[in-house]
Amino acid sequence: MEARLFSRLDGARVRCQLCAHRCTLRPGQRGVCCVRENRAGVLHTLVYGLLISQAIDPIEKKPLFHFYPGSDAFSIATLGCNFRCAFCQNSEISQWPREGRPILGRDTPPAAVIEAARRAGCRSISYTYTEPTVFFEYAYDVSVLARSAGIANVFVTNGYMTTKMLDAYHPYLDAANVDLKSFRDSFYRELCGARLQPVLDALVHMKRQGVWVEVTTLVIPGHNDDPGELREIASWIAGHLGVGVPWHVSRFHPTYRLTGAPPTPPATLRAAYEIGREAGLRYVYVGNLPSMRAEDTLCPGCGRVVIGRFGFRVTERHITDGACAYCSTAIDGVGL
């Protein structure tokens, strides 16, 4: 179907304005995402309604710890991504079109997604697994129906969308977990095929729009684990997004094309956790390492556990009307 957010240029060329690559395409060309194509001077999306994956996940798996904790998210994805991360955990679907394979997926109308989410009792729909920006038109149509049905909309994203896309989506995006993969432009260019600044711009724009935002950094030994860089990330989050924005520092496991780096040592993750706390962030979590027991939400007032977790499971809750049940300090989040 015809895509949204593009402009026509001379010679039947088009410029996509969906993500920060802003691809200029001649007839027959596809964008960096490999799922948007110029057909006779009109940009088309090739994946509308073609679900390649769907599942019911705990919202904590996104990870979102302060957005209706303990609830389920109906998670969907199509093929394609506008990044080519060497460490992609879902490369078999995100990179499929880039490898020259045919576009696949089960044709699923937006109304069918809403009905499935309702039947499953899901509090939200999560656009995830691949980069949801590349299936924006489909996500938008599902989101409009979800809002009418009282179901929230969640992006799990690399944050490389344009502010124009965020404005076009507004006000249907309720929450987002954004990967802030590094604080070095060289990392983004070499390992992801992208740039840093657009991600920072999108994060700030989401926050201004009132989207509930949480940030994740996958800590990769030898690439973005320098304490100075981690300190810059934590300080930027505190200064530009606010100290109430959760930061998830996650353990890396060798995968896809980045198999030379070892798994992240627990000591590195513990140091990242402490760096976040020292920067003033109220909520810092360690992901992919349940044995560290750094997944609990601590009250910023009294320091007691207000939401206990193990893995993706909520084990205890001590919040009353959005505040700590022990000292009444407000806990940042939505649906707590």
Q: Kindly provide the residue ranges of all beta strands, DSSP E only, lying in the chain, ordered along the sequence.
A: 6-8, 14-16, 24-25, 36-39, 42-45, 50-51, 53-58, 72-77, 106-107, 124-127, 152-157, 175-179, 212-219, 247-251, 284-287, 297-298, 305-310, 313-317, 319-320, 323-324
Given a cut of 50, the residues of the chain with pLDDT beneath it are: none
pLDDT of residue 293: 87
* Helical pair 136-148 and 110-120, crossing angle rounded to 10 deg: 50
pLDDT of residue 311: 85
What's the CA gap between 33 and 48, in Å, rounded? 14
Tokens of 194: 């992208």
pLDDT of residue 97: 95
pLDDT for 172-221, tens place per residue? 999 999 999 999 999 999 999 999 999 999 999 999 999 999 999 999 99
Do the Cβ atoms of 82 and 133 come closer than 8 Å?
Answer: yes
Beta strand pairing call for 305-310 and 297-298: antiparallel
pLDDT of residue 83: 98
**Side chain identity at residue 162, one-letter code:** T
- Of 202, 209, 213, whose CA–CA distance to 283 is shortest? 213
pTM: 0.97
In the chain, what are the domains?
Answer: 6-45 (no CATH), 50-295 (3.20.20.70), 296-336 (no CATH)
Do the Cβ atoms of 63 and 287 come closer than 8 Å?
Answer: yes
Name the 3-class secondary structure at 294. Answer: coil
Rg of the Cα atoms in the chain: 20
pLDDT of residue 224: 98
pLDDT of residue 301: 98
pLDDT of residue 331: 98
pLDDT for 242-272, tens place per residue? 999 999 999 999 999 999 999 999 999 999 9
